[in-house]
Amino acid sequence: MAKLWGGRFAKNTDAMVEEFTSSIAFDQRMYREDIAGSIAHARMLAKCGIIETEEAETIITGLSGILADIEAGNFSFEVSLEDIHMNIEKRLTERIGPVGGKLHTARSRNDQVALDTHMYLKREIADIAERLVDLQQSILETAEKHKTIIMPGYTHLQRAQPILFSHHLMAYFFMLARDFSRLGGVWERTDIMPLGAGALAGTTFPIDRFFVAEQLGFNKVYENSLDAVSDRDYVLEFLSFASILMMHLSRLSEEIILWSTAEFSFIELDDAHCTGSSIMPQKKNPDVSELVRGKSGRVFGHLMAMLTIAKGLPLAYNKDFQEDKEGLFDTIDTVKFSITVYAAMIKAMRINGNRMEQTLTQDFSNATDMADYLVKKGLPFRQAHEVVGKSVRYCIENGKFLMDLSLEEFRQFSPLFAEDIQDAIRVETCVANRNSFGGTSYQQVELAIKSAQQTVISEREKAKMFTASK
């Protein structure tokens, strides 16, 4: 088949090279963006007197018909035509005749594919933003529902201090809030219009790039044609955002996997979000969390691949950039799946608050509060630390916990202990007294939840803005 660019060539492309260089297998998903960009380009060409108005109308009608064909499943993409741009352009020329060939005036596939990718990513960012807020809402609602349950807090995966379960969950809410903020930054750098840069140097035709940007909902236009066709920073930023988000979800996955074990039994996942074993009838496996944890590595790999692709490329366009899309598309699909399934899973999981609180009766997570008690009595913290350390060792040697000690036993270690020591180291007191801003006290968690409610409202408005201007 003759190529639309074949005038310079004396030989046909080798079939293996044709298959190797083709991108239609994956870039066909950008057909909406490609057609929308071409319609805006045709209108601009007519506005600027580069083609006749009637020609532009014929082109737009033809493109609209092709869009309908693709949506109806009546369009066959051809590998020999390489990419989404050439597939649509050839069908357009077949449908409306030679006037279809005028559409490519004052543009190159270099700025065309850049435009499609910008537009496609904008659309997906808007979708991901809405899903991300839904996940935050799910976490927030679960925290509100169980805001007085006390659980062990951990460092080094060893019990450390008692905290509210809601406080633990809200840590993930605020991680995701930072992710949402990062996504807003990606949107800003994606919302720049590259069309009109041509292959690399602009065009000799009197085009109006700002008209095209307005038609397509872009707020900015690239100021340098070389940069316009070779910039993939926005792709890298999205992959970076996605990697950090998936890292956060992977950390949450690890905790959910641990909490759902018989050894912890802090939570029980809904049957709808688990799978069984083909050989062990009793099994209920947290496959969703395990898959999200595993898929994080896949997304990290796409970021590393894109950084590696871009690091050695001279200006302007290079065929290497064809490799930007498969990783980007896969990351988009992975992120959307992960955050959507997680929102449903968190809402449906059962919290075993009694089990969480029961574990706190058999550990030394109130030891810091015992040291703080002595400090408030005037003992320097380092000395208080030693006193409590000796008390803990005594308990271990005698099969006791701090709450089991009598006042006489406490006073073996310091005369500063008084009758109020038992109340001071109750887990409820330990939690309530951590009232510094951002702490785990009931009051601070209540304030955090109220703040998060306002954050969700604000983020939903931003997500609507993304959707309205995509």
Catalytic residues: 156, 277
Written as one string, the DSSP assignment of 115-136 is HHHHHHHHHHHHHHHHHHHHHH
Is-contact 229 197, C-beta < 8 A? yes
User: CB-based contacts of 420: which residues, under 8 Å, 6+ apart?
Assistant: none
Q: 255 with 139: CB under 8 angstroms?
A: no
Contact 212, 123 (CB under 8 A): no
Q: How far apart are CA 104 and CA 250, in angstroms?
A: 46
Neighbours of 409 (CB within 10 A): 16
| DSSP secondary structure letter of residue 420 | T
Positive or negative CA dihedral for 273, 279, 283, 288? Answer: negative
SS3 264: coil
Residue type, 309: I
Q: List, in sequence order, every beta strand (DSSP E) within 143-280.
A: 150-155, 158-164, 192-193, 220-221, 267-268
Four-point Cα dihedral 404, 410, 413, 415, nearest 10: 170
Q: In the structure encoding, which two tokens stand for residue 17, read together?
A: 């090279």
3-class SS at 160?
strand
- Specify the DSSP element, H or E, that contains 85: helix 84-96
